[in-house]
Structure 1
């Protein structure tokens, strides 16, 4: 799904509802299918500070990282925030009171200024149309000296999937991703004094085309615009194109992971 940098307010509300609905539907099977997302999240762990008192897990999904953070910092208050109510229901079911579960938008965080000293966010902010607004909110809620750790996605992500579709056009179900410079500039404009942005290609392999699509759609990461439908012939042609990319390990899916380490 191609996404402009800024959306009119009503279009943004519609977008937000579609994203929340897609991830709510995906919630029961998310942990089972999100092996790539989990593997990429482990890359943030090396950047954790020694101490933290109030931690925000932004885009917490089914709450696994929130629970890990609660175990890592047993004296801290962990806030797991997600836009999708279904994800929060799954987080409560899986992890109980390991964190306080909040339904909210990254562009309007339900936290007071200077409330958190650590923000952890694994593969969530790429869903936010207004990157600058998210950065301003993160800077607002972070205490001086606090740290923000983010994994997001950059251009080149899912290029095999894009290549497989004969009618790949904006609106066909994949995100438009912002590059490292966009994230670096946005963080600086928000006021962060330390900004580190690195990029790395992560590749994962799946046994067949159905498994590839399940790894994307099954974790909510495909929310086509109203009226966008794929028929059997579309799927057959896409599968044939994807098979041409097969390697010995299986069918590849590439993610360009951007890691941001920000300090106020």
Structure 2
């Protein structure tokens, strides 16, 4: 695996980043507006409530953590679609670039932009709402981070595989997938609040366990560590499956000439 080829793909997409208004909005603008709107709404409800519990901590924390899923998934998928739009995918794979190197580059780009988003939201939450995610969740942040990041990457690979199989008619799912998954991930409410049929879907999503334990930590100052370990095991299964799925769809697309049709 060549680090030079990986770095070349990363730089190609990073050069576009500051020159593309829509990509700037994906990374900074829309997440910040979400933080602003939810924060103001919860601040109002908090001021109108007699409860001393900080709803800001739960909601703002959930918003920031959810972006750890959104940004890697979006970057892994959108950057792949961008190569198809620009009819560049054949050029890339006519070079010595391998699938592993290409996927690695997409993941690194997603992680870079995820950190940029998380940092901007962390600073914004400190300035606007006096909320410090580090003091609120402390040592739990790494395990939350790893679980959410892996799930976002897995979703991105699955979306790319679907596009290879069904063509660019599936590209909308690159934006929609996190919106579809979010209600079942119990980001803003407990698992017990959703219907029984939805709970059956939620319990197979690693994100559900992360957000359940996030709330448990805020209410009870402890977590059930086995839930977070189980989330990690689920993520391992999803990641292995997503890589396998993308690889199979890529080889089928190349074998049957769908790569040419996609471009």
> TM-score when scaled to structure 1?
0.26
- Choose 1 or 2 for highest CA Rg: 2
Task: Give the helix-richer structure, 1 or 2.
Answer: 2
